[in-house]
Structure formats: C-alpha cells, structure tokens
Structure 1
Amino acid sequence: MFDTEKATASAWFRSLRDQIVTAFEALEDSHDTGPFSEAAPGRFEVKETRRQSEDGSDAGGGLMSVMRGGRVFEKVGVNVSTVYGTLGERAQQAMAARKGIPGMADDPRFWASGISLVAHMQNPHVPAVHMNTRMFWTPHAWWFGGGSDLNPCIEYPEDTAHFHATQKAHLDPHGPGHYPRLKEWADEYFYIPHRKRARGVGGIFMDDYCTGDWQADFALTQDIGRAFLPAFLPLVERRRVQPFTEADKDTQLIHRGLYAEYNLVYDRGTKFGLETGHDPDAVLMSLPPLAKWV
C-alpha cells in the first residue's frame, strides 16, 4: 500500500535536489567580481549515505552533497534520503505522544523520504537559508512536512519582503489561507525560547500535514520546494558583491552560533535523524563551518 506514492515523492525530492545543486554551482561560476571572486568556483562533494537497522540489515540511505569554501557559499549542504525500517522505543513514544497515533508499539514500521538544505554564505550581507520537505509513512498514518526560512545576520527589509512574497505566490493557488497559516507556523517553530527571539526572519513551515487527499498535499509540498530558488537566488545576486567589514563578519559568526544552538537543542529533524540511526554527518550537515559566542 502506498508504494506508488512513496516512489513518486522520493523521485520528486531527488529531482528538486538536482535542480538546486545545478543552480548553486552556476552561482559559483558566475561570481567573477566582488569579495571572494578570485577563489576557484566551489563544487559539491557527493557522498552516498546508508542507514542500517539495529540488526544490521539495509534500511535505505541517500546522497549527502556538501560544498565548502566556494566563492559564494562558505558551506552548503543539499541532502536527500529515503529510509525505512522500524522505529525504536524512544522514537515510537515520541511519535505516539506528538501525533496521537495508536498502534505504534504493535507495528512500528516507518518509511521517510525528503530533502534538507542549509546554506551558510561567504559574504555576511547574503542571508543564510534553510529548506526541507519530506514525506513520512507508517501503517497507521502518513503526512508531509517542511518549509523554508531566511536567516540573515544583517537584515534588509526588501530581501525579507521578496522571500515572503515569493512563497505566498506559490502557496496562494492552493488556497488563500495556506500562506498566513504556514507563516505563523514557521514563526512558532523557529523560535528560540532560551534566547527569547526568532532564529531569523521567518518563512513557511508545516508538520504532520495530512488532509486525507494525498495528491493535494503532495502538490502543496512540491510548491513549497518550487518556491525556494526564486525566493532565494535574487537575494544572493543582489548581495554577493557588497563589500563588508570585519565587524560585519563578526556579526555573522555570532548569528551562526544562534543557528547552531537552535539546531542542536530544538530541531525535530536533527533529533529524529540521530535517534533513528541515520548518518550523523548527514544529520549534522546543517551546522556552520565557523561560529562564535560572546
């Protein structure tokens, strides 16, 4: 059951990954003026990841694609994976508690596929960004999740406005209520309680999303993914040539510390990936190459 839908979703996440990797390497090639333009254009290093179940049997895997030290990107990762198996006791309990799914202890099988992206930029005027979309299946329920959010260390209101407007334009065809709901969801999810502040300037986010209409929910998930490049690339084009100071770079490193705190303490995807035995390097790909704390 759901084999066709699983295959369709998995293929889409891989296709989106390929589009983004191509676009990011093209940015590296075209950056021929301004800070860091004298460096060699960055390229993704691609590594196959595998997940093993507790008994050592194959449980899926994916591709980890990471670029380091490029002209535009200091570190960017674009990962895709399709994993399956049985949930351990801790994951079962967390799933049952959060989603109210009965029967997990009797049949703890799961299947999950998705794409996850985090980009940390060379120029502090270019915002960091995060995006992921995913599908999760158990014999008891299925759902989609994900979104994208912008994390500038130096905010430009016009950049924030463009990022949100592009997302709204992609979500509005699915109904006028989707964008405000998913924006509010992102504001709640990407909040750092111990700092009493948001991680960035928000975006869109959903989790445990299932209306019962798989085609409609998948179409919404696809458009969340399709919105990413037109929302983000113009900001990179606009800011990557700006000169910056040591103070600007210091601001960027401190903001990266905030980003790392959130991902290690609160992010559900990080916790789930580590608890279910996925490659820790792939799970922790989101962490910045350099950060500092005051």
Structure 2
Amino acid sequence: MPQSTPASEPHASLKETARIWFESLRDALCTSFEAIEDAQESSDRPAGRFERTAWQRPTEDASSGGGGVMSIMRGRVFEKVGVNVSTVFGHFTPEFAARIPGAAEDPRFWASGISLVAHMHSPRVPAAHFNTRMLVTRQGWFGGGGDLTPLQLDSAEAIEDAAELHAAFQAACDRHDPAYYPRFKAWCDRYFFLPHRNEARGAGGIFFDNLASGDAAADLSFIQDVGRAFLETYPRIVRRRMGEPWTGADRDALLVKRGRYVEFNLLHDRGTLFGLRTGGNVEAILMSLPPMVKWP
C-alpha cells in the first residue's frame, strides 16, 4: 500500500527499522510473560497465553492507512496484560495538527510504536506501563517511557522494585547522555500525576517526548536500550513478588488503587488522546484499562 511520506529525513529512512524493532520487542516481552505464567504452578487458573488480534486503520484513500496487532493475555499471574504494536499513517485534523511539531504546515504523519500495560492478580506485584514510539511529520522524533504502580508506594518491597527499575533506566540513559535520566525522571514525576487528587499515580520511572537530538539513529538506539532495560527488569520483579501471600483486604485495596489508573488514562494520557484522534483501534487504545476496578 502506498504511504504518505512526510519530508523529515533521516527519520523517514528509519521507519522500517523502527517498525521491526517494536514488533521484535513485543515478541520478546510476550515470550517472557508466558514463561512467567508457566512458572506459577500453585494456581487454580490455567497458564495464560497471548491472543493476537490484527486491526486496520480506516482509510479514505491511499495516503492513509496502516494498522496494528493487539496482544492480550489473561492468566495465573497477569490478570490482564496487553502488548500492542501499531504503524499508521495519514493526515492530522487541522485542530490536532496545530499542536504537533512539523504538522501545522503539512498535516501528513507516520507513527509506529509499542504500548504495554500489565495489571496483576496479586497486590504484591506492581502494575507496569511501558511504551516507546517514533513519529514523523515535517519533523521526526521519539517518545515513551515506563513506570511502576505498586499498591503501597512506601512499602519496603515497592521501594526495592522501583529502585531496580530506575537503576535499569538510568543505565540505559547514561549510555547515551548523562543528562537524560534526571531530566526524564523528573518529567515522569510531573506527567504521571493526578492533579485532581494531588497525588502521584505510582512509583515513577522515566518519560520523554519530542526527542530529536540531531542524530536520529542514535535516538533510535536509545529507545532500543530503554526497551531492553524494561525487558530485563520487569519480569524479574514479577518473579520475585508473584509467590508472596496476600489477603482479601489487599485485593480490595488494589481494586481501589486501579481507579487512579483509570482516572489518569481517561483524563490525562497523551497516548489515549493521540490514538482516538488519529483513527486508531478503540479496543487497542483502551487496553490499558484494568479488567476489575472499584471506587470507595
């Protein structure tokens, strides 16, 4: 299918490389999570397996299109985890184009990325979010990040888990620019915050957007390192916590905590807004929402 090609170079030349990377990271994450399901033997639930569903973006002509694949698993350890990839292209609406770098003068865009959200059965295992993406208009840039949402931010276990993920992200950042980690950590703390409740969503991590250092290949290498850091760290955290005992009261508290997650994603999340305003698959966009939640 012909693709609308914005004028940004050299980002445009990296489109295929980026798409392949996002899909390969998806495959590695799904394999790792299914292995965790197999490792949890003491459960009355069967080991989960990812179900993949392909979707296509609605098109008006050959200048727009693309699509993606939803990968969703419900199992013993992961109550619901989605690892979605998409590659789409087309035209921003005039209202949306005015807010996107490089799109005001030319509304054509190309975007590819991976998005992951994991909600766990056990209140002892922190929920996790991770995404990275590449977007090309007349300009080109990368964005993304990852973070943990434990039940109790101040517990020793949550502090240990968050420190491990932060250390992995810092190592990935430091390989490219020592200024990245403090900048992206602070950005994450500001971004994943619920102003209507005056509280942080979780234990933080890193967040960045509009990353264009002047070396597109180096920026792609950076988001690959960020992806590898999450792949190496989060499954280890899950394995460490998934066998720990918990109570019915813990589970009730977890469902209330998930309400904060829903509030953030529906009120403030940029990825949700971008997907809904660019003709994305609604089910894929809202896969981040937990399967069960309650408000007090």
- Flag whether TM exceeds 0.5 (same fold): yes
Q: What is the DSSP-based 3-state SS (H/G/I as helix, E as strand, rest coil) of the residue aligned with 1:94?
A: coil
Separation (CA, whole Å) in 2 of partners of 1:142 and 1:136: 6
When residues 248 and 215 of structure 1 are mapped into structure 2, their CA distance, relative to the original with a 3 A threshold, is same
Q: Which residue of 1 aligns with 2:4?
A: none
**Residue type of the partner of 2:142?**
F
Separation (CA, whole Å) in 1 of partners of 2:134 and 2:24: 15
Give how far 1:50 is off. Answer: 0.9
Separation (CA, whole Å) in 2 of partners of 1:255 and 1:17: 27
Q: Which residue of 2 aligns with 1:269?
A: 271
Is residue 92 from structure 1 mapped to residue 90 from structure 2 by the alignment?
Answer: no
Q: Which residue of 1 aligns with 2:216?
A: 214
Aligned residues: 283
Match of 1:13 among 22, 42, 48: 22
Q: Which residue of 2 aligns with 1:124?
A: 123
**Equivalent pairs: percent with the same residue?**
54
Q: What is the DSSP-based 3-state SS (H/G/I as helix, E as strand, rest coil) of the residue aligned with 1:52?
A: coil
Q: What is the DSSP-based 3-state SS (H/G/I as helix, E as strand, rest coil) of the residue aligned with 2:24?
A: helix
Is residue 154 from structure 1 mapped to residue 152 from structure 2 by the alignment?
Answer: yes
Separation (CA, whole Å) in 2 of partners of 1:258 and 1:39: 27
Q: Which residue of 1 aligns with 2:169?
A: 167
Separation (CA, whole Å) in 1 of partners of 2:54 and 2:62: 17
Give how far 1:93 is off. Answer: 2.5
**Residue type of the partner of 2:46?**
A
Separation (CA, whole Å) in 2 of partners of 1:256 and 1:105: 37
Give how far 1:153 is off. Answer: 1.1
Q: Deviations over 1:100-159 (max 9, x none)?
A: x4xx34421000000000000010110000000000001x20000001000111342111
Give how far 1:94 is off. Answer: 2.7
Is residue 53 from structure 1 mapped to residue 56 from structure 2 by the alignment?
Answer: no
Separation (CA, whole Å) in 1 of partners of 2:51 and 2:231: 21
Separation (CA, whole Å) in 2 of partners of 1:197 and 1:54: 43
Structure 2: state its 5+ residue gaps.
1-8
**Residue type of the partner of 1:169?**
A
**Residue type of the partner of 2:20?**
A
| C-alpha contact (below 8 Å) 1:125/1:154 kept by paired residues | no
Is residue 73 from structure 1 mapped to residue 73 from structure 2 by the alignment?
Answer: no
Greater shift, 86-95 or 56-65, is seen at 56-65
Give how far 1:54 is off. Answer: 4.4
**CA RMSD in angstroms, aligned pairs only:** 1.5
Q: Which residue of 1 aligns with 2:289?
A: 287
Q: Deviations over 1:63-88 (max 9, x none)?
A: 100012x1100000000000001111
1:99-138 pair list within 5 angstroms: 99=101, 101=102, 104-138=103-137
**Residue type of the partner of 1:247?**
A
Separation (CA, whole Å) in 2 of partners of 1:43 and 1:58: 33
Match of 2:194 among 185, 188, 192: 192
| C-alpha contact (below 8 Å) 1:124/1:248 kept by paired residues | yes
| C-alpha contact (below 8 Å) 1:147/1:206 kept by paired residues | yes
Is residue 42 from structure 1 mapped to residue 48 from structure 2 by the alignment?
Answer: yes
**Residue type of the partner of 1:90?**
E
Separation (CA, whole Å) in 2 of partners of 1:32 and 1:48: 31
Match of 2:237 among 230, 235, 238: 235
Q: Which residue of 1 aligns with 2:258?
A: 256
Q: What is the DSSP-based 3-state SS (H/G/I as helix, E as strand, rest coil) of the residue aligned with 2:67?
A: strand
